[in-house]
């Protein structure tokens, strides 16, 4: 695997060595963070340090960070714990939000950005206070949403706002107060921490009832013995991500060069969301006439790992609800790949991807073949 090119960081990014070391240190020790003796207090201090680092990453208060078993649990915890019967979610939300409740769907524009006027009309259509769920950045296209404006509109209608920041954290600067959201959710493995650890950041005073009961952990907001080792790794990864945000500019330059090279070779290739504000590491590009499944297999054989849409569907490639919401045809959406860069990505990796993608395009894309001349 050492010669392989990994460009699927939005699915999971490689763990930071410092996070692995922090986890190993915790696993070599003993102590339940709920115990009052020396061992328990040592475990508690690990949680406290991690909580502070994660709060710093998103501009929250450490006391308002609730650890969960991952981003999906964090999203579900908000949808259940906010106690709003009426839920409005954007059409491009991750399935852990979109399918977690009987929600109304707010449409997006062809650029993949939530339609603020349509959201305003939806909120005005009922006097029942809602929970509005809009992600900070989309996992498939990287398109950044106008969350602060969503919050302004929602709060004017007495709604609460949940922001899934799983993909954005560590890739763009986040200030929960500036965004104006009431709930913000995170996942460790998207920013160099371990899989299976997440968090909810709460605005002080918002309703939040534990969906998992049976213990007083997390100040009564999430029962169950905390995953101290995983949380320690999460905290270290969050601290590094906060310090390394400046590296995003270099990733954006690599991504932009990649897209330029692909479109130069294949003018019929379509980069989704190229006119919108995007995460610096994410590209969603369609190779017309070639199914994404075919591309994935060919690229994998060439030693390049990318994704088609979300990686949260039990390894299955299915039609993208995100691209459909943006108005893409079924055929176009079925030919789209997600290429996502991260802290291990180099210019050589991008060059190898472009070479492999180009070779595939020349061999398989109908648009690359010369037109036949009738006799």
81 and 222 housed in the same domain: yes
Question: Which backbone phi and psi does 334 adopt, to 5 degrees?
Answer: -75, -10
107 and 190 housed in the same domain: yes
What angle do the packed helices 228-243 and 38-58 form, to 10 degrees? Answer: 30
* For range 183-188, the mean pLDDT: 98
Task: With cut-offs at 50, 70 and 90, classify the pLDDT of residue 370.
Answer: low
Q: Examine the fold and report which residue of 226, 243, 260 is the final residue of a domain before the chain moves on.
A: 243
CATH of the domain at 186: 3.40.640.10
Task: With cut-offs at 50, 70 and 90, classify the pLDDT of residue 212.
Answer: confident
What whole-number distance in Å separates Cα of residue 169 and Cα of residue 238? 8
For residue 194, what pLDDT is reported? 98
What angle do the packed helices 347-364 and 248-265 form, to 10 degrees? Answer: 20
Centre a 10 Å sphere on the Cβ of residue 56 and count the other Cβ atoms it contains.
15
Average pLDDT of the residues of the chain: 93
104 and 230 housed in the same domain: yes
| 312: pLDDT strictly greater than 80 | no
97 and 116 housed in the same domain: yes
| 368: pLDDT strictly greater than 80 | no
pLDDT digits (tens, 9 = 90+) for 334-355: 999 999 999 999 999 999 999 9
* For range 105-110, the mean pLDDT: 96
Q: Is 375 within a domain?
A: no
Task: With cut-offs at 50, 70 and 90, classify the pLDDT of residue 211.
Answer: confident
Q: Is 295 within a domain?
A: yes
* For range 208-212, the mean pLDDT: 88
What whole-number distance in Å separates Cα of residue 56 and Cα of residue 174? 9
Centre a 10 Å sphere on the Cβ of residue 146 and count the other Cβ atoms it contains.
15
Using a CB cutoff of 8 Å and minimum separation of 24, what contacts does 343-351 make?
A: 343/9, 343/13, 343/14, 343/16, 343/192, 343/244, 343/247, 344/6, 344/13, 344/14, 345/7, 345/9, 345/251, 345/254, 345/281, 347/254, 349/5, 349/6, 349/7, 350/254, 350/257, 350/258
Q: Is 374 within a domain?
A: no
Task: With cut-offs at 50, 70 and 90, classify the pLDDT of residue 218.
Answer: confident
Q: Is 372 within a domain?
A: no
309 and 182 housed in the same domain: no
What whole-number distance in Å separates Cα of residue 148 and Cα of residue 135? 11
Task: With cut-offs at 50, 70 and 90, classify the pLDDT of residue 314.
Answer: very low
pLDDT digits (tens, 9 = 90+) for 228-247: 999 999 999 999 999 999 99
234 and 300 housed in the same domain: no
Q: Is residue 21 helix, strand or coil?
A: helix
Q: Give the number of domains in the chain.
A: 2
Instruction: Return the H-helix or E-strand segment holding 44.
Output: helix 38-58
- The answer to whether the beta carbons of residues 188 and 237 sit under 8 Å apart is yes
| 1: pLDDT strictly greater than 60 | no
Q: Distance between alpha carbon 355 and the CA centroid of its chain, in Å? A: 27
236 and 258 housed in the same domain: no
| 128: pLDDT strictly greater than 70 | yes
- Picking from 375, 253, 316, the residue whose alpha carbon sits closest to that of residue 95 is 316
| 214: pLDDT strictly greater than 60 | yes
Catalytic site includes residue 312: yes
* For range 293-311, the mean pLDDT: 90
Q: Which domain holds residue 316?
A: 5-13+246-367
Task: With cut-offs at 50, 70 and 90, classify the pLDDT of residue 373.
Answer: very low
Please state whether beta strands 130-133 and 5-6 pair in parallel, antiparallel, or not at all (unpaired).
unpaired
What whole-number distance in Å separates Cα of residue 43 and Cα of residue 35? 9
Q: Examine the fold and report which residue of 196, 227, 243 is the final residue of a domain before the chain moves on.
A: 243
Q: Is residue 215 helix, strand or coil?
A: coil
Instruction: Return the H-helix or E-strand segment holding 284.
Output: strand 282-286
Q: Examine the fold and report which residue of 201, 228, 243 is the final residue of a domain before the chain moves on.
A: 243
Question: Which backbone phi and psi does 263 adopt, to 5 degrees?
Answer: -70, -30
314 and 175 housed in the same domain: no
For residue 375, what pLDDT is reported? 43
133, 163, 284, 312: which is the annotated catalytic residue?
Answer: 312
Task: With cut-offs at 50, 70 and 90, classify the pLDDT of residue 369.
Answer: low
| 310: pLDDT strictly greater than 60 | no
* For range 254-261, the mean pLDDT: 98
CA distances from 39 to 10, 42, 115 (A): 36, 5, 52
Q: Is 101 exposed, middle or buried (0-12, 13-18, 19+ CB in 10 A)?
A: middle
Instruction: Return the H-helix or E-strand segment holding 360.
Output: helix 347-364
94 and 214 housed in the same domain: yes
Q: Is 319 exposed, middle or buried (0-12, 13-18, 19+ CB in 10 A)?
A: middle
257 and 239 housed in the same domain: no
135 and 190 housed in the same domain: yes
172 and 294 housed in the same domain: no
Q: Is 208 within a domain?
A: yes
Task: With cut-offs at 50, 70 and 90, classify the pLDDT of residue 311.
Answer: low
């Amino acid at each position: 695997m050492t010669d392989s090119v990994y460009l699927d960081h939005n699915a999971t990014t490689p763990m930071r060595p410092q996070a692995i070391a922090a986890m190993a240190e915790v696993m070599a020790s003993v102590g339940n963070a709920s115990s009052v003796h020396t061992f328990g207090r040592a475990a508690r201090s690990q949680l406290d340090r991690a909580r502070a680092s994660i709060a710093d990453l998103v501009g929250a208060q450490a006391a308002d960070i609730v650890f969960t078993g991952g981003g999906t649990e964090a999203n579900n915890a908000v949808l259940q714990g906010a106690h709003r019967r009426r839920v409005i979610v954007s059409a491009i939300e991750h399935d852990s939000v979109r399918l977690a409740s009987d929600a109304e769907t707010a449409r997006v524009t062809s650029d993949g950005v939530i339609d603020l006027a349509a959201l305003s009309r939806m909120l005005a259509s009922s006097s029942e206070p809602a929970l509005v769920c809009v992600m900070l950045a989309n996992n498939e296209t990287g398109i950044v949403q106008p969350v602060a404006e969503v919050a302004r509109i929602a709060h004017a209608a007495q709604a609460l706002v949940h922001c899934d920041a799983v993909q954005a954290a560590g890739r763009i600067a986040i200030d929960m107060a500036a965004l104006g959201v009431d709930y913000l959710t995170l996942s460790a493995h998207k920013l160099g921490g371990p899989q299976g650890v997440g968090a909810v950041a709460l605005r002080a005073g918002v309703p939040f009832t534990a969906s998992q009961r049976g213990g007083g952990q997390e100040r009564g907001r999430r029962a169950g013995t905390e995953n101290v080792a995983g949380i320690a790794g999460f905290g270290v990864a969050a601290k590094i991500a906060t310090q390394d945000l400046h590296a995003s500019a270099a990733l954006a330059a690599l991504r932009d060069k990649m897209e330029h090279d692909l479109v130069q070779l294949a003018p019929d290739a379509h980069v989704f969301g190229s006119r919108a504000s995007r995460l610096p590491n994410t590209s969603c590009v369609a190779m017309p006439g070639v199914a994404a499944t075919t591309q994935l297999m060919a690229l994998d054989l060439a030693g390049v790992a990318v994704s088609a849409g979300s990686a949260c569907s039990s390894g299955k490639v299915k039609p993208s609800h995100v691209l459909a919401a943006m108005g893409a045809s079924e055929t176009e959406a079925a030919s789209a790949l997600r290429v996502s860069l991260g802290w291990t990505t180099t210019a050589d990796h991008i060059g190898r991807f472009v070479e492999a993608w180009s070779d595939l395009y020349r061999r398989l894309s109908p648009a690359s073949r010369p037109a036949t001349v009738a006799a």
